[in-house]
Amino acid sequence: MDAKSAPHRKLDLDDHREILAQLYLARYFDIRLNKEKKRGRLRGTLYSSHNQEAILVGSLYGLRPDDWISPVHRDMPAFFLKDCKAGWRNEDRMGLSIKEICAQVWGKVDSPGRARDNWSHVGSRDKHILHSTSMLAGTIPVAAGVMLADRLDGRDTVVLTFNGEGSTAQGVFHEAINFAAVHKLPVITIIENNQWAFGTPVHLEVPTKHVADRAKGYGIPGLIADGQDVLDVYDKVMEAVEWARAGKGPSIVECKTFRAYGHGDHDDDRAAKYRDADQVKEGRSRDPIHIFKQYMVENGMLTEEDAQKYPAEFKTAMQFTDHDFPPDVVDYMTEGVEFALKSELPPEDEAAMWVFREDD
């Protein structure tokens, strides 16, 4: 792809502003949940996407509303970022609302799954969002099946599956991509290579130089994106989307990034011991919000003054205040949090609902 024909060249000023707003929204969601937990208003483990927001925003931005996604534990914002440019509060858009996702995080009855399970274990067939499975890489065969069904029905949709680099060491990862490659199914496997799978470094999971090199074994494209650069992610994913939509089959898009904190918030202290402090410092030094703001300033889309107005970069969850974020971002998330706090726990008599077959 030459620079002049890169897909992001077709994005206008409003697109850039929307992308920046979505980066802020993804980060604010993450830090706000951390704060809610510290304040004792939320229970459960949080899996942070802090520092990895450009992968979610950049890969989802160019999708058609009817395309499918399958996020996993690191991708919580993807559930509400899908089709976000159709209007954050637009109830007809093909993504879940922040209210539904907050109800899910708080385990309340207004979550789409009526609080059957927590965190990323949620989906919506109507919104074309696959429910994540607990088994790493387990969503890829499901996604391949959905694409096989769509192709048989004559649709030209694609699916983005999100996975960590550690998940690529699972047997099912290879079986599913092999199947998709043989049948030329439009399955795009995004690899968020954040260098760590819980306490295991990438070199103990993947023997090749790049995770994307695995694509060679299936005869499919293996693209590499700078996961800190939202437009590079956008370009590489759009290349894979166009390829898939044209009937040419699956691709792997490796997005290089760094897991800025522990595996989950229960792991922060231990992660500080099993990871080299210099590596962590270096890994947090390329903040995706900062990189995109700089790009907008250099290209006359944002003034220096406006770039500094909401300094949501280079901070830890506990250093942020709401003033570091645009008010519309804070308001949208606050609506979600308040909705979840008011929502009820599911009634006891629903416990067996959807679990056992009821007698006719």
Ligand X SMILES: Cc1ncc(C[n+]2csc(CCOP(=O)(O)OP(=O)(O)O)c2C)c(N)n1
Question: What are 72's two structure tokens?
Answer: 């996993």
Q: Tell me whether residue 258 or residue 339 sits nearer to ligand X (CB atom).
A: 258
Q: Which of 108, 127, 263, 275 binds ligand X (CB under 6 A)?
A: 263
Residues 328 and 120: their CA atoms lie apart, in Å, by 25
Partner from Mg ion, ligand X, none contacting 263, C-beta within 5 to 8 A by type: ligand X
Contacting residue, 1, 13, 86, 135, with ligand X by CB under 6 A: 135
User: Which amino acid, residue 244?
Assistant: A
64-83 residues in contact with ligand X (CB under 6 A) are: 73-74
The count of residues interacting with ligand X (CB under 6 A) is 17
Both structure tokens of 87 = 């209007």
E strands along 210-337, which residues?
A: 222-226, 251-256
CB of 56 to Mg ion, least distance (A): 14
Residue type at 242? E
Q: What are the E-state strand segments in 12-106? A: 68-70
Is residue 97 a contact point for ligand X (CB under 6 A)?
no
Instruction: State the nearest-atom distance from the C-beta of 55 to Mg ion, in Å.
Output: 12
Binding site partner of 275, from ligand X, Mg ion, none, Cβ cut-off 5-8 A by kind: none
Question: Which entry of ligand X, Mg ion, none binds 150, CB below 5 to 8 A by partner kind?
Answer: none
50-72 burial code (b ≥16 CB/10 A, e <16) = bbbbbbbbbbbbbbeeebbbbbb
Q: Least Å distance between CB 327 and Mg ion?
A: 33
Residue 279 near ligand X by CB under 6 A? no
Among residues 77, 102, 29, 120, the alpha carbon closest in space to that of 111 is found at 102
Are the C-beta atoms of 27 and 199 separated by less than 8 Å? Answer: no
Rule CB under 6 A: is residue 131 a binding residue for ligand X?
no
Our CB check for Mg ion shows the closer of 166 and 227 to be: 166
Q: Determine which residue in the list 79, 179, 196, 310 makes contact with ligand X, applying CB under 6 A.
A: 196
Using the contact rule CB under 6 A, the part of the chain among 29-37, 143-151, 195-203, 338-346 near ligand X is 195-203
When the beta carbons of 165 and 229 are compared against ligand X, the nearer one is 165
**CB of 255 within 8 A of CB of 228?**
no
Establish if 119 lies at the interface with ligand X (CB under 6 A): no
Stretch that binds ligand X, among 32-40, 122-130, 143-151, 193-201 (CB under 6 A): 193-201
Q: How far is CA 152 from CA 60, 115, 141, 156, 188, in A?
A: 25, 33, 16, 10, 18
Contacts 24+ apart (CB under 8 A), 212-221: 212/252, 212/253, 212/254, 214/168, 214/252, 215/251, 215/252, 217/174, 218/177, 218/178, 218/181, 218/250, 219/181, 220/177, 220/181, 220/249, 220/250, 220/251, 220/252, 221/251, 221/252
Residue with smallest beta-carbon separation from ligand X: 164
By beta-carbon proximity to Mg ion, the closer residue of 76 and 329 is 76
119's contact among ligand X, Mg ion, none, with CB below 5 to 8 A by partner kind, is none
Check residue 130 and report its DSSP letter.
P
Q: How far is CA 357 from the centre of its chain?
A: 34
**Which 151-190 residues touch ligand X, going by CB under 6 A?**
164-167, 170
**Is residue 197 close enough to count as binding ligand X by CB under 6 A?**
yes
Where along the sequence are the contacts to ligand X (CB under 6 A)? 73-74, 134-136, 164-167, 170, 192, 194, 196-198, 259, 263
